[in-house]
Amino acid sequence: MLDERDVVASVRRLRLQELRLWVQNGWIKPAGSERGPVFDDLDVARIRLVCDLRKEMSLPNDAVPVVLSLIDQIHGLRRELHGLAQAIDTQPVEVRQAIATAYRAAMSKAG
């Protein structure tokens, strides 16, 4: 876990004021401690993403939460699909084959 100053030191293109603003805006949601916010590896990855969006891609402030929300939704869907795949994998072979056949049929109708 990193504090604000550690994060700013590790993400060189980030200023402390920016980090605090991004936390205030809810773009980054660190855990709290008695000494203030602390950031884990996922927080730092998200901070790097926001840096890319703001600095490399020149995304305006009002678009950042939209992009972050879409990315969060994609990650949520990936987790759900992974859970579904694990549940399917526990089923008997006949059930897995029936699901695969139904899925292929549904996809051919959709596309």
* Contact assessment for residue 30 and residue 41, using Cβ atoms and an 8 Å cutoff: no
Structure token pair of residue 6: 């550690």
- Whole-angstrom Cα distance, residue 16 to residue 43? 15
Question: Averaged over 85-111, what is the pLDDT?
Answer: 95
Q: Answer yes or no: is pLDDT of 111 > 80.
A: no
Task: Give the model's pLDDT for residue 3.
Answer: 96
- Whole-angstrom Cα distance, residue 22 to residue 55? 14
Residue with tokens 């139904």: 102
Q: Which long-range contacts (CB under 8 A, 24 or more apart) does 65-69 make?
A: 65/25, 65/26, 65/27, 68/27
Task: Give the model's pLDDT for residue 110.
Answer: 86
Task: Give the model's pLDDT for residue 25.
Answer: 96
Question: Averaged over 58-67, what is the pLDDT?
Answer: 96
Task: Give the model's pLDDT for residue 106.
Answer: 95
Q: What is the pLDDT of residues 1-53, one digit of tens each?
A: 999 999 999 999 999 999 999 999 999 999 999 989 999 999 999 999 999 99
CATH code assigned to 1-59: 1.10.1660
Type of residue numbered 100 = A
The domain segmentation of the chain, as residue ranges, is: 1-59, 65-111
